[in-house]
């Protein structure tokens, strides 16, 4: 059951990236982040979004062949929706 509350999407994503940075860097990855600081609070389930971002970072680490580069960014789409791009 999801519990949606207005949250700072950047803060949620940054926390996950910061916590997983050690794993990525030890695996030889270069990490680039670009957070849209103008995003308003977004209704989201913090735990669910954190788990989804962690899963995507873990998959990038597991399934990357030769290129050891991960880019993580947040952005506002033209339709007004917030997005996480990995």
* Distance (Å, whole) CA 25 – CA 58: 12
User: Tokens 């989201």, residue?
Assistant: 44
Q: What are the tens digits of pLDDT across the range 46-78? A: 999 999 999 999 998 888 878 899 999 999 998
22 contacts 62 by C-beta, under 8 angstroms: no
pTM of the full structure: 0.91
Mean pLDDT for 20-43 is 94
What pLDDT, on the 0 to 100 scale, is given for residue 46?
97
Under DSSP, is residue 8 helix (H, G, I), strand (E, B) or coil?
coil
Longest dimension (CA), the chain: 39
């Amino acid at each position: 059951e999801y519990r949606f509350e207005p949250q700072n999407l950047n803060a949620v994503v940054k926390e996950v990236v910061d916590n997983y940075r050690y794993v990525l860097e030890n695996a030889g990855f270069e990490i680039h982040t670009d957070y849209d600081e103008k995003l308003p609070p977004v209704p989201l389930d913090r735990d669910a979004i954190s788990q989804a971002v962690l899963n995507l970072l873990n998959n990038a680490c597991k399934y990357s062949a030769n290129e050891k580069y991960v880019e993580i960014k947040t952005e506002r789409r033209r339709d007004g929706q917030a997005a996480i791009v990995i």
